[in-house]
Structure 1
């Protein structure tokens, strides 16, 4: 059974989210503070973590950072009322796979949970992905280029994975922002360009082309 951990200090919200997820036949674990959340995430190995940001004691951003340091492959969906765009960007850059603002519609929460779990399941169905000289180990999240291995961050991995699944195609910034960061549209952010810059340093600059005013293209040969 698919296991989801909910970390939030609001008891009523935890009960609401737990009930909604259990209706969808998910096994749900809960924690009402950051310390217990980290412990459960690392011992129970859930398929997805739903994490609040503003909590007493350990802030959700610190929880996310700790989880990514211990288990970079863990999928974390941020659920928070914060309107701080920079904090949202920071969480996504740390490795969160999605961000849903409170208040939210339960149908949207379920849809996002399903989508992120499907992505996780899809990545497990194939262990190795190769495009030209680029080899991506999906289990170890390790990149090998020209026979030389290197480790990717969570966001770098997801970005390269999307590009490698669409070799030769031009992927727009909006498409990458939506697929990798979970944003529908945010013209003010440059997170895609920053992450592309880091990827180029690891895969060779000539392998990822910039298509002016559109996006990026991974060379297929």
Structure 2
């Protein structure tokens, strides 16, 4: 363990590496805090906006624990929290959890979905076979947060931006855009229903969202 994690509470007194990982990031909300920071540093209230079920005191505790574990860094002068490299290395863990969860019954997509959660989900659910050879750039505007996705020959890269600059931009909430991307309705139908909005090349936007499929258990 690193020096700054020695004072953390030992949850599992085992030599197993999985136990060691859970000693560091196994508390409730911990990985979801990481999820909210995976694309960009944020202030406390912005992190909390992506975790509406967490209380301020619990979020404060998790941030302190993650900082002690070397997963999160805190710039006190700016009030900004960011992931360290060790924190960024948890993205494949979050993606693997998404893949595993799709095999399990009981998922309710009508519950709150944060913008960061949707971006991670789309990275997992890209149809690599259909995306091969394609080059597309997409913008996503969630109001307080925005992202760009660059698809290059089957490889999808996502980054947080201040203002999306792309041939098309999809706007809405995490939930409405999740239904836009994964649902059976076309983009035009979602726009006409007022569930989402879009600007730019709508034909390219439809082509882009058709590259994603959410596999659910029977």
For the criterion TM > 0.5, the same-fold answer is: no
Larger of the two Rg values belongs to structure = 2
Higher strand share: 1
Q: Larger relative CO (CA 8 A, sep 6+): 1 or 2? A: 2
